[in-house]
Structure 1
Amino acid sequence: MDGALTRFRFMAYVVGVGLLLLVAAMFAKYVGDSETMMRVVGPVHGFLYAVYLVLTVDLALKARWSIKGTALVLLAGTIPFVSFYAERRVVEGVRTGKAL
């Protein structure tokens, strides 16, 4: 389970940073009228979020999370800064043996 947790932690940070970049790209697109950043960051974030989903489900199956807990962690990658919070909670829960 340590490998699954490590992969999840890495992707949670990557997706969190990617989401912040996506927000900056959206801001540049709608306020600065520049779509260049959005054309690059949007698809990259989408791909990385898909990888995050797969790795989260892998960890959820190994840690025997509830469907509700799994869904909440999956959604954490869609709200800025929440993936960082969810990562901390998940690590605490997995290390102490608490299921989500």
Structure 2
Amino acid sequence: MDIKTASALHRLRLVSVPEALSFPALLIFGSLLSRISDIDYLMPPLGALHGFLFVVYVLFLLDVWNKAKWPFKKAALFFLLAVIPFGGLYGDRILKRDEAEIVAAARTDREAANA
């Protein structure tokens, strides 16, 4: 794997935490707020923000799946983690480890080529 794969993993990491927090923080909070008060105008923009983050996450996931040559099971796991509230936080830890391994391997390859 190369540095482009690490960049794709990093992009997926950048969106995984906000996406993981958007469901419980935005949608549940907004839903509770609209039920206990007269603030109904808050749900459409919060839902749109959550939907936007989910779509970006899926697009970045497809990019990583293509570049990292993940098996279908691993890509399906990360899709499932996006659907489960707070699942992206667990996925972020896995992605961080994978990204560090790829960067270290790329660095080793570059040093070997320069030597």
- Aligned mate of 1:67, from 51, 64, 72: 72
Match of residue 113 from structure 2: none
Structure 2 unaligned segments of length 5 or more: list them.
103-115
**What is the identity, as a one-letter code, of the residue corresponding to 1:40?**
P
Aligned length: 97
Could you tell me the TM-score, scaled by structure 2's length? Answer: 0.72
Larger radius of gyration between Structure 1 and Structure 2: 2
RCO comparison, higher one (Cα < 8 Å, 6+): 2
Structure 1's consecutive aligned runs of 4 or more residues displaced over 3 angstroms after TM superposition are 30-34, 93-97
Give the TM-score taking structure 1 as reference length: 0.81
Q: Unmatched 5+ residue regions in structure 1? A: none
- CA drift of 1:41 comes to 0.4
Per the alignment, in what secondary structure is the counterpart of residue 42 of structure 2? helix
Q: Secondary structure at the match of 1:36?
A: coil
* Corresponding position of 1:4: 8
CA distance in 2, matches of 1:37, 1:79: 23
Q: Percent of pairs identical after alignment?
A: 29
Matched residues in 2 for 1:92 and 1:32: separation?
44
> What's the Cα RMSD here?
1.9
Q: Residues of 1 paired with 2:56 and 2:31: CA distance?
A: 22
